[in-house]
Structure 1
Amino acid sequence: MEQRLVTDSVTSEKYLRIASISIATYDYILTLPAEWRFYRSQSSIFHISLVCALFILMRYVSIMAMVVSNYGYFSTTYTQQTCQRYYIVAPIFKAIQTMISQVILGVRTFNIVRRDRRIGIILSLLYLLSTSAEWFADLFHGTPNVVDGNCTSANAGKVLSTWFYYLAVILYDVVIVTVSTVHLLRYNPISSRVEQLIRVLIYDGIGYFIVLSASNILNLVFYHTTNIQTQTAAASVGYAVTWIMTQRILIRVRENTRPDAQRLENVIVARPTLGAQKRVMSGLRSHFESKSHSKGSKSSKSAGDAEFRPTSPHNSNDVELDVRVRVERSVVVDYKDESEHSSSWVK
């Protein structure tokens, strides 16, 4: 009976790993055009934006994590000695992948909360605490597990600790998604275009949390068991879900805020109240900022109407995690050459 249960668990793990590889490969092919647009929007290969760099890291660190993990599992040539040097590689890539994902969510939330310094400090401390706990839980009491020539990492100590890794990830996601969603719900956009953008940010954040939490809870349950044959059953699923959901956040926001989607229009976002004119709505920072310079005219800005302003396509990729709404009023002064009789009007 026990042997049958072990066989069933091994078969289930194989199915889960093959399914996760298939889904990840399909999503990779599906998002190749989006990846090309990220590259094309860079001004230079030596001047890559933070958003593009995070996108690349998320994408290819995730691939490495899946390759390393599944190679060790499906291989049939490992011995206890060779596995001793290899089993730790997959957990390291898992921790790095999670760190990149949490950086993306943290920066996204920091900009949504209008770059509030106090909240930024809290988010930084939360990130350091979370990643420290994750690395400790991921590597503590990890042992090589060799079965039929394959090599995986198992948690076989007296105290099971790997499950705490996923608990730390879940708690971090709860805080980040709660903070970002609460602040997004406070915005009162007038433009339907900006309302759509805010809705996308809310849905993406909640969707990310629901899907990834389901994967993390599944891994938490598996790693909470003493059966080392089933502990890593959903590990590959976690790699794929983290990869797909995190990069989708970057792609969706970029697609909804690129300059050509805005038709190069200035869009009124919100009208400040009388007592709120001194408060700049800098929560959703956008790359839609442009300085209009024309011959014979000057432009100055003061607090007033909030609006998005588009930039050049080369800077369009800065929007994904760096979206800000600025409250301002433009005052344009036309003037003639000093050699003529000066006359001006203010609009």
Structure 2
Amino acid sequence: MKELSVIVDNQATEKYLRIASISIALYDYIITLPAEWRFYRSQSSLSHLRLACILFVLIRYGSIIVMTISNYGVFSTGFTQETCKNYYMIAPCFKVIQTMISQVILGVRTFNIARRDRQIGIALVVLYFVSVALEWFTNMFNRIPVVVHGNCTPGNSGRILSAWFFYTVAMSYDLAVLTISTVYLLRYNPLNSRLERLVRVLIYDGIGYFVVLTGSNILNIILYHTSDIQTQAAGASIGFAVIWIMSQRILIHLRELSETETRRLENIAAMRSPQNARDAASAIRSPLTAKSHTDPESGLNDAHTDDMELDICTCVKPTVTLDHTDECGVSSSWGAPMVQ
């Protein structure tokens, strides 16, 4: 009776944790609906989505799928040992897929912050595939179906638990890529308050992501080592919600900074003549928006970059021309350089 009471208490705690994670994720989904709409509206067409928008959709709705599958197995009461065998591995598979999407977001972000350095890019690709291989192996090894009161959850059996090592690998990848991006950001010497704010936001986003997600991963490691096999995955839903929220927040902040920069450039161009506006558009580059400029004379296109790229803006010195007509009706003009 005592052992049964402990199992019931553990299951109740697991359900409370899952309900809390679902509530937080649902609240965040609702308040980010306007940001999602702005993501779609900023695309040139739905058939040519930018990489940031694709990653946003994948992490947002991939997370909904994995949370739905995982929590259905826990809250359902109709599973048998046979039906659970056909279901229990689906949630762990989507769990790795969600982590892979999140790590792609961090990797692309770090690669662009590192100014698309070839060596950094190769290192990130190698690190990514090594991490993914370890995550698939550790998350699938020695998994068994666990059925308690009709619930179906994946458990980790054997003398050596491997599922907890999944979180260690994920934390190692996050630490590596965020260390690289932070080092590069600290090397920037912002020339104005706008760039300084940009660098500060990118640093805070990276550190916040790592701190919150590491806390969730440590919680899951503790649960895998201290809980019984029926409640090992009690904190999994919290991890799903944290990855979802923090990953999409990075993309939302990058898009907002990009939109702000675009409006600033439009205001600059509106105050100038069409010829000067065209010259400014080719010289001033947003730190976060994509660069795709066509020279009307040569017909050549600049290399296209992703909308999460971090570049240093080029200074433009336009000439302001004033027309003056004196009292005799004679028109004259003069110009003076102005640093923009």
TM-score (norm 2): 0.82
Task: Summarize deviations over 1:57-105 as a string: whole Å, max 9, x none.
Answer: 0000000000000001100011111110100000011000000000000
Distance 1:127 1:184, change over 3 A: same
Structure possessing the higher relative contact order (Cα contacts under 8 Å, 6 or more residues apart): 1
**Cα-Cα RMSD:** 3.2
Point out the more displaced range, 320-329 or 217-226: 320-329
Point out the more displaced range, 23-32 or 2-11: 2-11
Q: What percent of counterpart residues are identical?
A: 55
Distance 1:65 1:293, change over 3 A: farther
Q: Is the 8 A contact 2:287 2:313 kept in 1?
A: no
CA distance in 1 between partners of 2:96 and 2:64 (Å): 13
SS of aligned partner of 2:65: helix
CA distance in 1 between partners of 2:38 and 2:278 (Å): 34
Task: Summarize deviations over 1:145-166 as a string: whole Å, max 9, x none.
Answer: 1111111100012321000100
Runs of 5+ unmatched residues, structure 2: 294-304, 320-334
User: Structure 1: which amino acid aligns with 2:311?
Assistant: R
1:200 alignment counterpart: 201
Distance 1:297 1:215, change over 3 A: closer
Distance 1:265 1:308, change over 3 A: farther
Correspondences of 1:93-108 after superposition (within 5 Å): 93-108=94-109
Alpha-carbon shift at residue 325 of structure 1 (Å): 2.3
CA distance in 2 between partners of 1:44 and 1:4 (Å): 57
CA distance in 1 between partners of 2:172 and 2:79 (Å): 36
Correspondences of 1:163-242 after superposition (within 5 Å): 163-225=164-226, 227-242=228-243
Counting matched residue pairs gives 308
Correspondences of 1:23-38 after superposition (within 5 Å): 23-38=24-39
Point out the more displaced range, 47-56 or 150-159: 150-159
SS of aligned partner of 2:86: helix
2:332 alignment counterpart: none
TM-score (norm 1): 0.80
CA distance in 2 between partners of 1:92 and 1:293 (Å): 56
Task: Summarize deviations over 1:297-325 as a string: whole Å, max 9, x none.
Answer: 995999xx98648979x99xx87522322
CA distance in 2 between partners of 1:297 and 1:52 (Å): 28
Task: Summarize deviations over 1:191-246 as a string: whole Å, max 9, x none.
Answer: 21111111110001000000000001111111234611221110000000000000
Greater helix content: 2
CA distance in 2 between partners of 1:129 and 1:241 (Å): 23
Distance 1:331 1:248, change over 3 A: same
Distance 1:79 1:319, change over 3 A: same
Correspondences of 1:276-315 after superposition (within 5 Å): 294=274, 299=279, 308=286
Runs of 5+ unmatched residues, structure 1: 268-288, 333-344
SS of aligned partner of 1:146: strand
